[in-house]
Structures are given as structure tokens and as C-alpha cells.
Amino acid sequence: MNILDKIVNDKRVEVNLRKQLIPVEQLEQSVLFERQTVSLAKRLRESNTGIIAEHKRRSPSKQVINHNLNVFDVAKGYENAGVCGMSILTDGKYFGGSLDDLLTARSSCKLPLLRKEFIIDDYQILEAKAFGADAILLIAAILTRDEIKQFSEFAKQLHLDVLLEVHNEKELHKSIMPSIDMLGVNNRNLKTFEVSLETSKQLSELIPNDFVKVSESGISNSEAINILQPYGYKGFLIGENFMKTVNPGESASQFIKDLLS
């Protein structure tokens, strides 16, 4: 069993527990449920930097990244730096995140927020909406084509953007459908954890231009973005690079200055 299988098994147990604790009706009564969402895809299309900055405390591949930062300050810092959007890991067991992080970031900034989670149930999409997200992540590696269709269409009904993440050509082919806004190519091999920008390059020509192309993982300098932009990428998800510093907002600001200089 690989790490992704383990995470998904634990997630099923967790989601079933959460459903018992907080019924759907309660989520739908959240103050934020009626909030007008901001399109991350639109922001990326219009941007010349395309940075989606991430809040992530730890990961299975790197263990602790940063446990000392306050989400409120990180979100504020990212917004001041001029990023296009913010990705927030809400998985607790493996990434040290929570839905409260999403709520805190929402109260701190006006950026489009992506709930980065292992979504395996409609309930988690309702949670994303109720806690202030503007977009959700779907991971092709853990979903069937029917599930991708079901979850992405449900997200669209709630006015949430959908970022669909793929790792290879097979996952990409089962994922192309009108209810997806952004197609993300993860440069990290899930089996070996090795990272290579070649993955983004190779898959770029197979992604129709109707979708906003996003490259994820392994983007640690502005040169990587300069390499990928000619391949049609408009979005670049950067987490570790900013989060491992004392001031992620300042790091993001410097990164964007370098990129534009």
C-alpha cells in the first residue's frame, strides 16, 4: 500500500466521523455559505506571474516544514506580496492542517482560497464552501472518471472553481471534462517522491487550451517559471519554498520581484 492509499483509507474514516458530528444542514447554514466566490482560474488567466502560494506545516515526504507560523499572518503576507491565490492544506494527520486554517485565512485576506484536500466525498465540497474556499482540488490518482465528474459538477453548482491534479498521461485522459477549470500537473512522482519539471513539459501539449494549466511541486526559483511559461502554464503552485522560511510573505514578495525583473 503506497502513501496515497493510506491517506485515502484514513480519510474515509475521518469523513464518516465528521458527517456524524456536523450534519449537511449545519454546513449550509454557515455565514460563508452564501459568500460570493472569487475565481482563481480567472485570476491566473489575467496574471503574468500566476503564483498560488501554499500554507503547509508538514508533509509525508519532508516531515516538518514549519510549525511556527500563524496562518493569519501567512495569508496577509501572501496577499501583500501580490500572489494570485492561496492553497491551504486542510488534512490533519499527514499535513498538520485543518479547516480552521481555511477559516482563519478567509478572515485575513481577500485572495481566492483553494482547499487542498484528499476529496473522496461530496460532503468535503460542502465543507470547503462553508469554510470560505473559492476552489477545490481533485486528485485524479484517487478518483474514477465518474467521481471526478460527480465532484466537479457539484463544485460548479456551489460556484467553486475546480483544480484537477494529474501525475501522468493516463490520469489526464480520464480527467478532461467541461466541469474542470484548471488542470494541474504534479511534478512529484508519488511512488519515489522524486520531482522533475519534465512531467509538466511532457503533459502540456496534451492539455487543451480551454483549461488553465497549473504546474505543481518542485518550483523553487523564478527560472523554473520562465522555463514552463512557454509551455502554456499560467499557474504555479509553490508551498515548501515559501513555508520553509521565517517569513513566507516576504519570500513570496522577493520571488515575484525576481520573476518580474
- Give the mean model confidence (pLDDT) for residues 151-172: 97
Single out the residue of 95, 154, 167 nearest to residue 120, CA to CA: 154
Q: Please tell me the predicted confidence (pLDDT) of residue 192.
A: 75
Q: Please tell me the predicted confidence (pLDDT) of residue 65.
A: 74
What's the chain's average pLDDT? 95
3-state SS, residue 62: coil
d(CA 222, CA 238): 11
With cut-offs at 50, 70 and 90, classify the pLDDT of residue 129. very high
Catalytic residues: 54, 56, 116, 165, 186, 216-217
d(CA 48, CA 253): 14
**2-11 pLDDT, tens per residue?**
888 999 999 9
3-state SS, residue 236: strand
Give me the percent of the chain exceeding a pLDDT of 70: 98
In angstroms and rounded to an integer, the radius of gyration of the C-alpha atoms of the chain is 17
With cut-offs at 50, 70 and 90, classify the pLDDT of residue 252. very high
DSSP 119: -
Half-sphere CA count of 162, side-chain side, radius 13 A: 27
**80-128 pLDDT, tens per residue?**
999 999 999 999 999 999 999 999 999 999 999 999 999 999 999 999 9
**204-250 pLDDT, tens per residue?**
999 999 999 999 999 999 999 999 999 999 999 998 899 999 999 99
Which of the residue ranges 20-24, 63-67, 139-143 would you say has the lowest mean pLDDT? Answer: 63-67
Q: Which residue has the higher pLDDT, 153 or 70?
A: 153
d(CA 138, CA 132): 17
d(CA 116, CA 186): 13
Which amino acid would we find at residue 71?
A: V
What would the grid cell of residue 143 be? 478518483
